[in-house]
Amino acid sequence: MSSLRQQQLLERLERDQSLQVAALAEEYNTSQETIRRDLKLLERGGKLRRVYGGAIAVRTPGIRPLVERERINQAGKATIAGLARDLVKEGDSIYIGEGTTTLALARLLADHVPCKFTTNMMDIGIALGRGRGHEIFITGGRLYPEHGILAGHAAIMAAQSEIYDIAFVGTSSITLNIGFLDHERVLAEINKALTNRARRLVVLADHSKFGASARFVTYDLSAVDTVVTDSQPGKAYLDALYAANVEVICP
């Protein structure tokens, strides 16, 4: 029960940015000392900062440089990319959002069957361009050079301009009660714009994204069709995803 309560506290903190011990003790019908112990454990894990009467959110990191992110969990990203590639059929119209896992997928799709691609990430367009027979479109928008991504109003309008057979996007966090979140508002906005723009909306997320901290809500669980990950999520996450009619693909 304590681990579930702590996860719920983190999700509440992501939403409200602060927690009050007295109110939580009453809500959970437990002692204030029990809530304080939960907060102490979460603080040790770097999830929050305790203050008088409760806790506040720690500042979440922004997007790290692409070269730095590419080094993280390379094996897991390769596994996810391989599983996601098998969802693609010849002639599909595909949107691929920014991210190092989606970039790993693009590198595999370059030599896969011919398709039509739209992306807001320069490196993804370049990777796909090394293949043959594809149509490749890069959205407009504001360029973030360190990450090679395009975002903002023009990128959103371009992403929304057609209905895709399948859209592959990344995420910073998957939570039980809130859903999918991103560290940056501009990324949350462009990914959110894909809601109802793809016959199949697929989130690529390695195991570290389950329960991670992020600020900006992208999707409710039920807005996504499929999650592809590198290992089976815990029972609580599987139950929540299945209850929302989300397909989970893992090794």
- For residues 93 and 6, membership in a common domain is answered with no
33 and 116 share one domain = no
Query: How far is residue 193's CA from residue 214's CA, in Å, rounded to a whole number?
Result: 19
What pLDDT does residue 122 have?
A: 94
Measured distance CA(102)–CA(107) in Å, rounded: 9
Instruction: Give, for all 251 residues of the chain, the pLDDT tens digit.
Output: 677 888 888 877 766 667 889 888 888 899 999 999 999 988 888 888 888 888 887 654 555 666 666 667 889 999 999 999 999 999 999 999 999 999 999 999 999 999 999 999 999 999 999 999 999 999 999 988 877 899 999 999 999 999 999 999 999 999 998 999 998 888 899 999 999 999 999 999 999 899 888 888 999 999 999 999 999 999 999 999 999 999 999 99
Supply the pLDDT for residue 34.
92
122 shares a domain with 17? no
Instruction: Work out the angle between the directed axes of helices 32-44 and 21-28 (0-180°, nearest 10).
Output: 120
Query: What is the longest distance spanned by two Cα atoms in the chain?
Result: 64
Structure tokens at 23: 């109110």
Token pair for residue 65? 């440089």
Same domain, 37 and 76: no
The per-residue pLDDT for 140 is: 93
Tally: H helices and E strands in the chain: 10, 15
What is the rounded CA–CA span in Å between residue 85 and residue 66? 22
The amino acid at residue 146 is E
The last residue of a domain, from among 40, 57, 74: 57
Residue 200: domain span: 66-249
Q: Are residues 13 and 96 in the same domain?
A: no
Domain identity same for 93 and 21: no
Residues 104 and 150 occupy one common structural domain: yes
Residue 167 shares a structural domain with residue 123:
yes
Q: What is the CATH number of the domain that holds 15?
A: 1.10.10
Query: Do 159 and 38 fall into the same domain?
Result: no
Specify the pLDDT at position 14: 67
Residue 66: what pLDDT? 64
Q: Tell whether 113 and 182 lie within a shared domain.
A: yes
Q: Are residues 36 and 89 in the same domain?
A: no
Alpha carbon 144 to its chain's center: 19
Of 181, 123, 125, 168, nearest in space to 147 by CA:
123
Give me the pLDDT at residue 130, please: 96
Distance of CA 25 to the CA centre of its chain: 31
What does the alpha-carbon distance between residue 240 and residue 251 come to, in Å, rounded to a whole number? 19
Q: Is 201:32 a contact under the CB 8 Å cutoff?
A: no
Look at the chain and report how many structural domains it folds into: 2
- In this structure, the answer to whether residues 45 and 24 fall within a common structural domain is yes
CATH number of residue 121's parent domain: 3.40.50.1360
121 close to 239: Cβ distance less than 8 angstroms: no
